[in-house]
Amino acid sequence: MPKGVYQRSPKHIAKLTAQIKTAYKFRVYRPRTAEEKLAISIGTQKAVAGKPGWNLGLTKETDSRVAKYAQSSRGKVISLEQREQLSKWNKEHPSRYWLGKHRSEETKRKLRLARARQKPMIKETIPERLVAQELTRRGINFIPQHPLLDGMTIADFYLPDYNIVLYADGNYWHNLPNYIERDKRINKALKANGYKVLRFWEKDIKANVRLLLYSALK
């Protein structure tokens, strides 16, 4: 293996080789013609020069050319040799690749906040639904899926009148070691910033959410 390229273990190489052999059995690949290669080259040069590529904003559902390219690329397999060449090129051209780039803490903070502000794609869980119903029944003002601490955490519920951050923790995930440590770190940060933190277990919410909230908010 060339120096400066990822040092994969023999076990990892064997695994990749097996995956590639399996992929070759099911691949559907048509080599590009000279005209296609030239068109791609010209499009790349335009993009590098700051000019938008021909396919900007187009999808395979709206443009037949994009659909044709997507079909020709389906099932394409990257060999180990190609992987190593890409790895070597990326290391030799760090300015055109993310490798070696370090984001500042301010940039990381802005990225966390931007992600937190995005509309959550996760479907509301049953415990969260039960808590929301009980909060509504009691006439308590709350904000669901509320980002806090510059996006460090997204509270399942934020109760502004009480300055309470409330989480409905699933029985499985939040019992895992990495989740436990993360929850402790988040709790500590929230309390240091003046928030009161409540964490309810899924099993307790399902057992008696009314009593749970009554005891916590009385």
| pTM: predicted TM-score of the whole model, two decimal places | 0.49
Domain locations along the chain: 10-96, 120-217
**Which strand ranges, in their side-by-side order, compose the sheet holding 164-169?**
143-148, 153-159, 164-169, 196-201
Q: What's phi and psi for 191, nearest 5 deg?
A: -65, -35
User: Is 66 in contact with 58 (CB distance < 8 Å)?
Assistant: yes
Q: What is the pLDDT of residue 21?
A: 74
CB atoms within 10 A of CB 91: 15
Q: How far apart are CA 212 and CA 135, in angstroms?
A: 11
Q: How many CA atoms lie within 13 A of 11 on its CB side?
A: 0
Instruction: Tell me which range, 51-60, 72-81, 162-171, is most confidently predicted by mean pLDDT.
Output: 162-171
Kindly report, residue by residue over 106-149, the tens digit of the pLDDT.
Answer: 887 777 777 666 655 556 789 999 999 999 999 999 999 898 98
Q: Which amino acid is at 84?
A: E
Q: Output the average pLDDT for the chain.
A: 80
* CATH architecture of the domain with residue range 120-217: 3-Layer(aba) Sandwich (3.40)
Burial of residue 128 (number of CB atoms within 10 Å: 0-12, 13-18, 19+):
buried
